[in-house]
Each structure stands twice: as structure tokens, then as C-alpha cells.
């Protein structure tokens, strides 16, 4: 089952997927060196308060409406129909 | 032309940007002339003279020769069989290695030479940068680079100077972080493990960063905690220790470096979800100005987890090639695989809510999970209750069934 899906997704006909894979692999995966050695305490994430309320219990109020989620849903639907 | 006296630095035991310019050269530039003349007037130490001579030979002979041959190649005037020009590269690498060797000897012999640590780090970075850019990070050269950086690290770790202010151990993070970076680039997890073992057996973060005379900047601290978080969280399955390190890295990171924050969050988000069941606030994208593919992939995965969509989640991480490539590349694939338990829990929880939170749930209502998976959740203490195989139902604890 899974190999069928993989083959389907790897075919050149699926141009969008190919482009997405390329975009994904092109993205930098290295933790870049900082261009400066240090910075004032006031400039840190902690001091700026950006780490406050960063974590939640759930995402009940979030809508799923981005393109990727929609495409994934469509693919899953197609896959179910093939089965 | 401005004259720079090299003796002055050794007399005053300080360095500045001009001293770094003396030791190093800008990478990838055709014109390296910055109108500085470096002179050594007094010769009171043969090693300083040797360091001066090696550096000037690199600047005046090897680099111009290398640049000239590269320019000729660019213009197509010379038939070149080997595009990388190895003899010239070799001379430059040898020179930087000699600079590093001489600096280490100067520092090992004299306890008051700790001020040379940062210039030595600049040289180590120069060696790595040259091999990475000009030699296409060729493995043999990279191994030589690691050997040289490791010599710097060993010198720092082995310093037994009782004077804490001059002890070179305060600067080990410079070289540890450089080694982390190269091993990660080479995909060599065993060497990362060895490096951490060496560090943890000889020192700790308190003794190696609290020197007021030679303070280690926040950039090194954040980088160190990021790599430690990666190691413990993704390689060693010590997820809690991974989270501790990544939270330290995030807290100390400057808000101006959103790309580094993104890399920290890439690891922290799935780990935090796995260990504490906590989800990142969706406003993190705007809060930290995160761009790239991460938000779209992570958004999808988190929603599938919270909504308990088991088959869709499995499909996404196992069969959606772009998404799979993304989490494999960032080394979080195993964590997302482990998060299947969280998806299953949320699936059961959603069904439980649909059944008006009754403690007895027929297995026919739980079609996306089997008895084995439920037993597993109970044994992991993610679910409180028991399975009644004869009655084909799951009996949940009335008190706190989802701890």
C-alpha cells in the first residue's frame, strides 16, 4: 500500500510534489554561526517576554485552512478511493 | 597604508580586529588588500617570529599565487586539469595548520597567553571555512581540520593552571561548537557522542563559562545548548535533557536571529509535545518571524495529533514524501514517530467525549486502534484503565483517565 503511494508521488507527472520536495531539500538545515559574539541581556528571547505563554494545552480554536493541509486531505481522500 | 605593530599585541597581551586581520584572510574575495602593513620590530621570542614569518608567507606568497591561478581559470587562459588547484590549496592549509601549531605552543608554554584564545579560534574557523568553501569540504581535508581543532580543544581542557582567571578551560565552547558543527555536517553521530563524553568528564558549563576576564559570549552558549539539545533529544532519546538544553538555548538567543530560533524550535516543538503534551502557541510564527517550510509542515502534524487522526497522521509521516524529507533532514523523524502514542490518546479521548465521557467504551467505537495499541498506552501510563477482552471493551478509570 505504502509503496504504491510513494511511487505515485515520485512520478514526474506530479510536478507540484517534485517542486515541494526540491524546496524542502533546498532549505538550510545547518544551525548558522551567529555573526556577532554576544548581545545585551535585554535583547534575549527571555527578557523580551517572547517565551511567555509559548505553550498551550490544545489547538481547539485553530482553523485548518492552509494549502498544504488542503492538499494533504485531498491526497488522503484519493488514496482511500483507490483502496 | 597603515602600519600595524605585531609586537604591541604581545607586549600588552591584548588583541583587536587588526590582529585578527593579521592572522586571517577574507574568504572568497579576489581583492584581499586592506591597506595594512604588518611589522614585527622586536624579536624577543623565536616562536612569535616564526608565527609572523608563516603568516606573512601565507599572505605574500601562497594567497596571491592561489588567487592568480583562480583568476586565470576564470578567464580560461590556462588549461586546468584539476579544478581545485590542490598544490596551492595544500600550501594554504599547511600554513594555517602551522599558525595553529605555533599559537598552541605559545599558549602551552606561557600561562599569561590566554588572551590568544579568541585569535586561535579565528584561525580554527578560518581553516574550516577555507576547506568548506575552497576545497568543497573534501573528507580528507575535513579530517585534518578536525584534528587541528581538537588539538585546540585538548589544550584548553588539559590546562591545570590554578589561576582561574587565566585557565584556558573557560574557552572550550569555542572549539566544541566548531567540532559539533563539522560532525553534524559529516553526519557523524559517534564523534558527537565522543566529544560530549570528553567534555562531560572534564568540566561543566559552570566552570567553563563563568570567567570574567575571558567571558564566553551568548552566541557560543546558545550554539552549545542547541547541539546538546539535538544530541540528547534526537540521538540519545533523553528527551527531557534535550528539552532543558533547547529551552536554555531559546531563552538566551537574541530576538534578532529568527533563523537560529527556527532551528531551536524545530527540535523543541515535537519534544515538548512528546514529553509534556504541550503545544506551541500558533502565534509563534509571527512572534519569532519564522519563515520557510517549517510552519506549514508542523501546523499540519500538530493538528493531526490534537485531533487524534491516526490514519492521516501515519500517512503524513510515512507516505507524504516532501513532509517526510523535511523531518528526516531535520532529524526529528523519530520523535514524530514516537508521537503516534499522543495521536492515539487524543483519538480515544475524542471518542470518550463523544460517548458522554462514559467509562466503559465498546471496542466497536474504537475502530482505529487495536487491543495491543491500547495495552501499550495503558503500560506507558498515558491511559488509566483496563481492557476487558471477553466483553470487548475498554474500561477507563473514573478519576483522571488521561493522566
Q: What is the CA radius of gyration of chain A?
A: 20
Phi, psi of B362 (to 5 degrees): -65, 145
CA distance B148 to B171: 16
What is residue B13's predicted lDDT score, i.e. its pLDDT? 92
The answer, yes or no, to whether residue A42 has pLDDT greater than 80, is yes
CA distance B251 to A47: 8
Residues of B within 8 A of A43 (CB-CB) are 254-256
The answer, yes or no, to whether residue A2 has pLDDT greater than 50, is no
B301 sits in which H/E element: helix B294-306
- The shortest CB-CB distance from B325 to any of A25, A37, A57 is to A25
Cell numbers at B103, concatenated = 599559537
Phi, psi of B39 (to 5 degrees): -125, 150
pLDDT by residue, tens only, chain B of 403 residues: 889 999 999 999 999 999 999 999 988 765 666 688 999 988 778 899 999 999 999 988 888 877 777 766 666 554 444 455 667 888 999 999 999 999 999 999 888 899 999 999 999 999 999 998 888 778 889 999 999 999 999 999 888 888 888 888 888 999 999 999 999 998 899 999 999 998 888 766 666 667 778 888 999 999 999 999 999 999 999 999 999 999 999 999 999 999 999 999 999 999 999 999 899 998 999 999 998 889 999 999 999 999 999 999 999 999 899 999 999 999 999 999 999 999 999 999 999 999 888 889 999 999 999 999 999 999 999 999 999 988 899 999 988 899 8
Give A75 or A50, the one with higher predicted confidence: A50
Annotated domain spans of chain B: 1-75+87-160+167-201, 357-396
**Global pTM?**
0.86
What is residue B387's predicted lDDT score, i.e. its pLDDT? 92
Nearest to B331 by CA among B145, B194, B192, B138: B192
What is residue B218's predicted lDDT score, i.e. its pLDDT? 94
Cα distance from A43 to chain B (closest Cα, Å)?
5
Strand partners, B39: B5
Return the axis-axis angle of helices B294-306 and B321-329, rounded to nearest 10°: 100
- Does A21 contact chain B (CB < 8 Å)? yes
Instruction: Calculate the CA A19 to chain-centre distance.
Output: 15
Cell numbers at B42, concatenated = 622586536
- Does A60 contact chain B (CB < 8 Å)? yes
What is residue A3's predicted lDDT score, i.e. its pLDDT? 34
The ipTM assigned to this model is 0.84
Which pLDDT tens digit goes with each residue over A63-76?
555 566 666 667 66
- Does B320 contact chain A (CB < 8 Å)? yes
At residue A13 the predicted structure's pLDDT band, cuts being 50, 70 and 90, is: very low
Give B130 or A8, the one with higher predicted confidence: B130
Strand partners, B388: B393
Spatial strand order of the sheet with B360-362 comes to B360-362, B393-396, B385-388
Burial B162-190 (b: 16+ CB within 10 A, else e): eeeebbbbbbbbbbbbbbbbbbbeeeebe
- Does A23 contact chain B (CB < 8 Å)? yes
What is residue B303's predicted lDDT score, i.e. its pLDDT? 92
- The shortest CB-CB distance from B318 to any of A2, A25, A73 is to A2
Residues in chain B: 403
Burial of B350 (0-12, 13-18, 19+ CB in 10 A): middle
What is residue B400's predicted lDDT score, i.e. its pLDDT? 87
Mark yes or no for CB contact A46/B185 under 8 Å. Answer: no
Residues of A within 8 A of B246 (CB-CB) are none
Residues of B within 8 A of A36 (CB-CB) are 217, 219
Secondary structure letter of residue B77 according to DSSP: -
CA distance A11 to B388: 47
B residues 297-316 near A, CB within 8 Å? Answer: 297, 299-300, 302-303, 306, 311-312, 315-316
Residues of A within 8 A of B277 (CB-CB) are 57
Residue B250 · residue B264 · CB < 8 Å: yes
Strand B36-39 to strand B2-5: parallel, antiparallel, or no bridges (unpaired)? parallel
Say how many CA atoms lie within 13 Å of B334 toward its Cβ: 10
Mark yes or no for CB contact A44/B253 under 8 Å. Answer: yes
Cα distance from B235 to chain A (closest Cα, Å)?
16
Q: Which of A8, A16, A17, A34 to mutate: most B Cβ within 10 Å?
A: A34
- Does B325 contact chain A (CB < 8 Å)? yes
Helices (H) and strands (E) in chain B, counts: 19, 6
The answer, yes or no, to whether residue A6 has pLDDT greater than 50, is no
Residue B100 · residue B116 · CB < 8 Å: no
Phi, psi of A44 (to 5 degrees): -80, 160
Instruction: Give the list of residues 6+ apart from residue B291 with CB closer than 8 angstroms, or none.
Output: B258, B262
Cα distance from A35 to chain B (closest Cα, Å)?
9
What is residue B174's predicted lDDT score, i.e. its pLDDT? 94
Mark yes or no for CB contact B218/A45 under 8 Å. Answer: no
B362 sits in which H/E element: strand B360-362
Amino acid at each position: 500500500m505504502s509503496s504504491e503511494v510513494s511511487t505515485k508521488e515520485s512520478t514526474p507527472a506530479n510536478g507540484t510534489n517534485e517542486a515541494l520536495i526540491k524546496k524542502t531539500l533546498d532549505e538550510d538545515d545547518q544551525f548558522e554561526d551567529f555573526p556577532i559574539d554576544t548581545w545585551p541581556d535585554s535583547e534575549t528571547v527571555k527578557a523580551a517576554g517572547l517565551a511567555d505563554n509559548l505553550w498551550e494545552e490544545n489547538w481547539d480554536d485553530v482553523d485548518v485552512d492552509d494549502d498544504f493541509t488542503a492538499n494533504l486531505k485531498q491526497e488522503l481522500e484519493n488514496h482511500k478511493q483507490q483502496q | 597604508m597603515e602600519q600595524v605593530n605585531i609586537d604591541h599585541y604581545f607586549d600588552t597581551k591584548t588583541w583587536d580586529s587588526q590582529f585578527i586581520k593579521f592572522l586571517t584572510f577574507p574568504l572568497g574575495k579576489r581583492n584581499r588588500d586592506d591597506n595594512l602593513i604588518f611589522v614585527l620590530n622586536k624579536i624577543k621570542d623565536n616562536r612569535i617570529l616564526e608565527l609572523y614569518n608563516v603568516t606573512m608567507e601565507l599572505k605574500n606568497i601562497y594567497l596571491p599565487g592561489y588567487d592568480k591561478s583562480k583568476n586565470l581559470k576564470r578567464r580560461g587562459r590556462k588549461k586546468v586539469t584539476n579544478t581545485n588547484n590542490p598544490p596551492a590549496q595544500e600550501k594554504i592549509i599547511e600554513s594555517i595548520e602551522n599558525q595553529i601549531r605555533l599559537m598552541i605552543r605559545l599558549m602551552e608554554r606561557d600561562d599569561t597567553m590566554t588572551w590568544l584564545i579568541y585569535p586561535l579560534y579565528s584561525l580554527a574557523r578560518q581553516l574550516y571555512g577555507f576547506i568548506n568553501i575552497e576545497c568543497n569540504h573534501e573528507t580528507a581535508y575535513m579530517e585534518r581540520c578536525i584534528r587541528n581543532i581538537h588539538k585546540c580543544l585538548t589544550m584548553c581542557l588539559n590546562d591545570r593552571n590554578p589561576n582561574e582567571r587565566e585557565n584556558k578551560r573557560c574557552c572550550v565552547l569555542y572549539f566544541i561548537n566548531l567540532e559539533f558543527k563539522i560532525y553534524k555536517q559529516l553526519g557523524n553521530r559517534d564523534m558527537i557522542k565522543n566529544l560530549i563524553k570528553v567534555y562531560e568528564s572534564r568540566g561543566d558549563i559552570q566552570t567553563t563559562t563563568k570567567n570574567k576576564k575571558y567571558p564566553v559570549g551568548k552566541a557560543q552558549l546558545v550554539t552549545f545548548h542547541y547541539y546538546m539539545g539535538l544530541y540528547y533529544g534526537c540521538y540519545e532519546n533523553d528527551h527531557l535533557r534535550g528539552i532543558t538544553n533547547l529551552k536554555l538555548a531559546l531563552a538566551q538567543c537574541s530576538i534578532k536571529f529568527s533563523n537560529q530560533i527556527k532551528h531551536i524550535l524545530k527540535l523543541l516543538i515535537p519534544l515538548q509535545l512528546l514529553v509534556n503534551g504541550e503545544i506551541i502557541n500558533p502565534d509563534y510564527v509571527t512572534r519569532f518571524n519564522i519563515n520557510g517550510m517549517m510552519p506549514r509542515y508542523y501546523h499540519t502534524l500538530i493538528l493531526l495529533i490534537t485531533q487524534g487522526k491516526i490514519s492521516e497522521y501515519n500517512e503524513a509521516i510515512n507516505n507524504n514524501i516532501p513532509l517526510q524529507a523535511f523531518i528526516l533532514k531535520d532529524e526529528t523523524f523519530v520523535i514524530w514517530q514516537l508521537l503516534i502514542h499522543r495521536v492515539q490518546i487524543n483519538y480515544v479521548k475524542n471518542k470518550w467525549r463523544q460517548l458522554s465521557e462514559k467509562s466503559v467504551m465498546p471496542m466497536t467505537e474504537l475502530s482505529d486502534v487495536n487491543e495491543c495499541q491500547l495495552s501499550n498506552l495503558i503500560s506507558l501510563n498515558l491511559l488509566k484503565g483496563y481492557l476487558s477482552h471477553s466483553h470487548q471493551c475498554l474500561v477507563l478509570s473514573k478519576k483522571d483517565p488521561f493522566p
